[in-house]
Structure 1
């Protein structure tokens, strides 16, 4: 897997747009009427207040406490950057909060405390702790982090977890379980050498000892060498707890005959000679970031039998904390735990290890561009494995229940696991599926509007994200200037810039276009102007001749105008069955609306074709189609001539013998609401419709834009279907990320029928 590139400007833009920061807070209850306001606040709010005052445990029922974690830091040890202060740490803490939400549906708030005094820090957290169901400490320097965490654990009755310590330890333990399994060794027998006696290193060794590693078999090293009994220089109580009787004084000495090396130190700390001196089938966890103590290539060059893990995503076996902390807290919160103890951490490690030994879902293999099977290069699950959410929290919850830290044990574990499966927003997995398929396709993507900075940024992101080759239609000097203005000057060497002046295919393109247009009022001069001067036509001609695999355009001109230009090259019109399908993603639901692009006023036969095209798109994105022909009437009432075609369209589909669910005509609420559907027991949909076929293009456009502007729905599309080539038309208000999404969809051949 290639390492994803980004520039300073891209990183800043990501945090600036569309609004500063990385998350918003949205209400989970209606707030539309005076009654809603009276219930949410005064006077109605007094009722749960009184109940909680009477029984504090009810806070888990009547507030968000039970699904709310505070991510708290003072910024004294931010990533590898050192002491940046409280405010300098905020972007990292915001990022941590959205990882909680994204991977385990845990709500989280970042809190940055402007103090380096442990007592002040402890007091502040203790005073605010009633608000939260758990505390995640982050980026606090040692040894203060040990003092702060231990004291808060003693004072609070909710989980307190320093992820820099224990998150790393849990994932390291999971990987080691499988590495030792492959090498045929037992944890109680192996010699372990750890380099880096900071927070993470000490936590790793403590957890491994709790799991059975023998104290005398574990040697810890720091910048001054081996931590041995009797050493006084650079020591503290936490290091002293791991001092052993040994003659070894340097890391090089300690590595002789070692079965396991665990590194949380610095780049290059381990040499090839050290690796050579290790025991058979050595396990090397070189977790220094951003560069490991020794690279897998360097280790395998001298020891082909080595099992190597790092902290980097571009190498196999990434030790990534996101595999741990979201699911540890998910399981702990769901039993209203008083703590996250060692047994819960070990349960998490064993569950992760067991998951890696199972067959890997196809979608995970697609995301990583290769088949993953348990072995030396796959001992730890990948962060995007969809099974993590319903496999790890139950294991954590069971361990918490068995060790007495659960306030509210889970009675039906099977039902709990089912609930976890449905907890995550399905739109995320669909978007991730698009990305996985695009990476596998490696399409040569034609970006038609190379004079627009948004398009150029999307093209750079497309190529740097590993989706394929970006072909930009534009002038070399203009593209270079705009990339430099966007802080992406180095990208001009990566992109392939194409135009009529530098292509050897222009005459071929013109001959092809003239053959299509000669009987439509276009002479040779007209054709030359279109092929040589119009970027949309030129890009379409590139696609028609196989000089690119897919096309994205439309960011600078209205979609109707762009579609008209594309029609010079392809039959992308209503007569030939072209359809525009727009996906709306909102509150965990996905609904497709059609036709949003091509057919102005379709008749019943056209509507049936629109339904078929939309069903094809739905299946491409992993949905089982349920089509509703929507109108202002439901099953013939009220009677209207304008609703008649919607009434007839289902019969057309019946006659065509399609293999998906459909029904109509019906109002939107009946289509989307199962309670409303229950009033019509004869209707054929097995659940809420996920495809709405509307009477006309204008009503489709109005519906989409209303949802986008009023409800904040995510809009993907319109996806052009039925053309036979992969062409996607972005909107003029698209951001660079929107254009990238359209390029990804185009790379997936969604809507082409293939």
Structure 2
């Protein structure tokens, strides 16, 4: 038996004697070891290739000097022309200082390149637009990460891009950078760790509540973790109609409530203090109190297993919804949550049902703002994206094991584009004269072309085939360590 190149039969190679936890550990080890081998083989995973032609000697005078000077002077006369005369209108910046890379923390400035390249790769393949990964050294003279340095850099490089995606920036700088750039940057800015995660979480909850036949304004919600992601989840849930007083949030020190003077007096946690005032109307303090009769748990905290206890899930209301989304190991495994009485369970992993992953959001949302040249990305635009994701899954029929669309679904991103462009037009933020229907068609065509390009490059040999020996050696190493 041979491990397939698409890895679809990976489970067959795991010993049947392995427990669920050991199987997941083995798979995680395999993906990590294969990632190192594959990245070294390819030397990264994105490249810049020409999209204009022909590449003939005389034409170099058109693409470069002397002809290209007319492009420079045209843009000098009208900076907005840069969106049509260069790739700026179809290009995003993926910006990080690598101070909080996935679950690995501070990885030093170049340590986030693998993640940022991956983000750019998905933007091209799933969203049909170009993206450049940039990791910067944000350390100030005191050696600490500086929000001001990130903000200054974003302003300086903004003339090259149509949108900025912030990624893997530690707290509280992630809040400060987003808030300041949203107010002052000349192009739209998005923080995917927070807004993207919240957007997809809301989409999943919209559909889960439909199956549970519950109304968002009548449910009790537990948010486990109060970082950038869950703080934004709380904000979006309230915009969707959830009662803030019926939301109980936990951070490492306990629940957020109006008596948390440690947050009130700390300017680094102004968002959390604001949530202290808006949530937890009954002053709940313990997990047992919070989980009793709760309808929804959204955990974005420290990886498990064991962070969320099955006995807490047993305290929840009938038809409880549990999203445990820490990576690489969820706070409680979905199977364990279901066994404890959950009606629907989701996680951040793709090897369980209901993967709540921000890759369902950012390719479509950012494609939309590029196509309509939006001045900004508002919360209502993000929620329009969430509604589109939810409706895409609902159109195919919802099941407890299928509340979100697959990220390879050809409709999920064009539908988001249509919804977000419609909202941007409604709010007067679109600077490009394009209708939602036109944006939908453009997005669909561009995404199809990007996927075809990737396939053609692979078939032609420009993208080399990964040797099977590298895959098998990664599997052997993983099984040995598991």
Q: TM-score range by the shorter chain?
A: 0.7 to 0.9
5+ unaligned residues in a row in structure 1: which ranges? 360-372, 433-452, 461-482, 494-754
Find the counterpart in structure 2 of residue 16 from structure 1.
Answer: 40
Residue among 184, 187, 200 paired with 1:158 = 187
Which residue of structure 2 lines up, in the alignment, with residue 246 of structure 1?
282
**Which aligned pairs between 1:143-222 and structure 2 lie closer than 5 A?**
143-222=172-251
Alignment-derived partner of residue 63 in structure 1? 86
Residue in 2 that maps onto 1:391: 415
Query: What is the distance in 2 between the residues matched to 1:83 and 1:17?
Result: 25
Cα distance in 2, alignment partners of residues 396 and 251 from structure 1: 38
| Change over 3 Å in CA distance of 1:275–1:456 after alignment to 2 | same
Is contact 2:199–2:383 with CA below 8 Å preserved after alignment?
Answer: yes
Aligned to 2:108: 85
Alignment match, 2:366: 329
State the Cα deviation string for residues 270-291 of structure 1 (Å, max 9, x = none). 2122111111211111111111
- In the alignment, the residues of structure 2 paired with residue 47 and residue 8 of structure 1 have an alpha-carbon distance, to the nearest angstrom, of 48
Residue in structure 2 matching 1:347, options 345, 360, 384: 384
**In 1: Cα distance, 2:336 partner to 2:149 partner:** 46
Of 442, 465, 471, the match for 1:419? 442
**Pairing 1:73–2:96 present:** yes
Q: How far apart are 1:8 and its partner, in Å?
A: 5.2
SS at 1:213's partner residue? coil
Per the alignment, residue 65 of structure 2 pairs with 42
CA shift digits 1:250-305 (9 cap, x unpaired) = 223211121111100122222122111111211111111111121222122121x5
What is the CA–CA distance in structure 2 between the aligned matches of 1:406 and 1:188, rounded to whole Å?
32
Q: 1-side partners of 2:273 and 2:366: how far apart?
A: 31
On the 8 A contact 1:343/1:403 being kept in 2, the answer is no
Aligned residue runs from structure 1 range 158-557, under 5 A: 158-233=187-262, 236-243=269-276, 244-266=280-302, 267=304, 268-303=306-341, 306-359=343-396, 373-411=397-435, 413-425=436-448, 428=451, 454-457=467-470, 460=472, 488=476
C-alpha distance in structure 1 between counterparts of 2:391 and 2:343, whole Å: 21
Aligned pair 1:100/2:152, yes or no?
no
C-alpha spacing 1:181/1:25, structure 2 compared with 1 (3 Å): same
Measured in 2, the distance between the counterparts of 1:256 and 1:8 equals 38
CA distance in 2, matches of 1:418, 1:109: 25
Is 1:29 aligned to 2:52, yes or no?
Answer: yes
Q: CA deviation at 1:316?
A: 0.7
> d(CA) in 2 for partners of 1:330 and 1:256?
42
1:614-664 CA distance string (max 9 Å, x none) = xxxxxxxxxxxxxxxxxxxxxxxxxxxxxxxxxxxxxxxxxxxxxxxxxxx
Query: TM-score, normalising length from structure 2?
Result: 0.85
Distance 2:257 2:97 in 1: 32
Cα distance change of structure 1 residues 385 and 38 upon mapping to structure 2, 3 Å threshold: same
Does the aligned pair in 1 maintain the 2:128–2:449 contact within 8 Å? Answer: no
For 2:3, the equivalent position in structure 1 comes to: none
Q: State the match for 2:19 in structure 1.
A: none
Query: In the TM superposition, what is the alpha-carbon distance from 1:107 to its structure 2 partner?
Result: 0.3
- Tell me, what secondary structure is at the counterpart of 2:390? helix
Equivalent residue for 2:18? none
Q: TM-score, normalised by structure 1?
A: 0.55
Q: Whose relative contact order is higher, 1 or 2, with alpha carbons under 8 Å and at least 6 apart?
A: 2
Deviations 1:212-261 (A, max 9, x none): 11121111111111111112235521111111432311223211121111
Q: Is the 8 A contact 2:37 2:470 kept in 1?
A: no
What is the CA–CA distance in structure 2 between the aligned matches of 1:144 and 1:33, rounded to whole Å?
Answer: 48
Mapped to 2, the partners of 1:155 and 1:346 lie a distance apart of 22
CA distance in structure 2 between the aligned counterparts of 1:334 and 1:403, rounded to whole angstroms: 16
Q: Secondary structure at the match of 1:237?
A: helix
Checking the alignment, whether the CA contact within 8 Å between 1:224 and 1:234 is kept in structure 2 is no
C-alpha distance in 2, partners of 1:309/1:8?
22
CA–CA separation in structure 2 for the residues paired with 1:149 and 1:143: 10
**Which has the larger share of helix?**
2
User: How many residues matched?
Assistant: 433
Per-residue deviation at 1:61? 0.9
Contact preservation (8 Å) 2:385, 2:416: yes
Aligned with 2:345: secondary structure?
A: strand
DSSP 3-state at the match of 2:122: helix
Distance change in 2, residues 1:418/1:252 (3 Å): same
Counterpart contact for 2:263–2:270, Cα < 8 Å: no
Unaligned runs of 5+ in 2: 1-7, 12-23, 139-144, 456-465
SS at match of 1:197: coil
CA-atom RMSD, angstroms? 2.4
**Deviation, structure 1 residue 342:** 0.9
Map of 1:110 onto structure 2: 133
Whole-angstrom CA distance in 2 between matches of 1:26 and 1:382: 29
C-alpha displacement of 1:180: 1.0
Match of 1:689 in 2: none
TM-superposed deviation, 1:426: 6.0
Distance 1:42 1:427 in 2: 29
Deviations 1:347-374 (A, max 9, x none): 1111111111122xxxxxxxxxxxxx51
Asked if the contact 1:328–1:392 (Cα under 8 Å) also holds between the matched residues in 2, the reply is yes
| Cα separation, partners in 2 of 1:229 and 1:491, compared to 1, 3 Å | closer
User: By how many angstroms is 1:17 displaced?
Assistant: 2.1
Q: d(CA) in 2 for partners of 1:7 and 1:395?
A: 35
1:103–1:326 contact (8 Å) kept in structure 2 = yes
Task: Determine the C-alpha separation between the residues in 2 that align with 1:167 and 1:189.
Answer: 25
1:712 is matched with which residue? none
Distance 1:37 1:429 in 2: 27
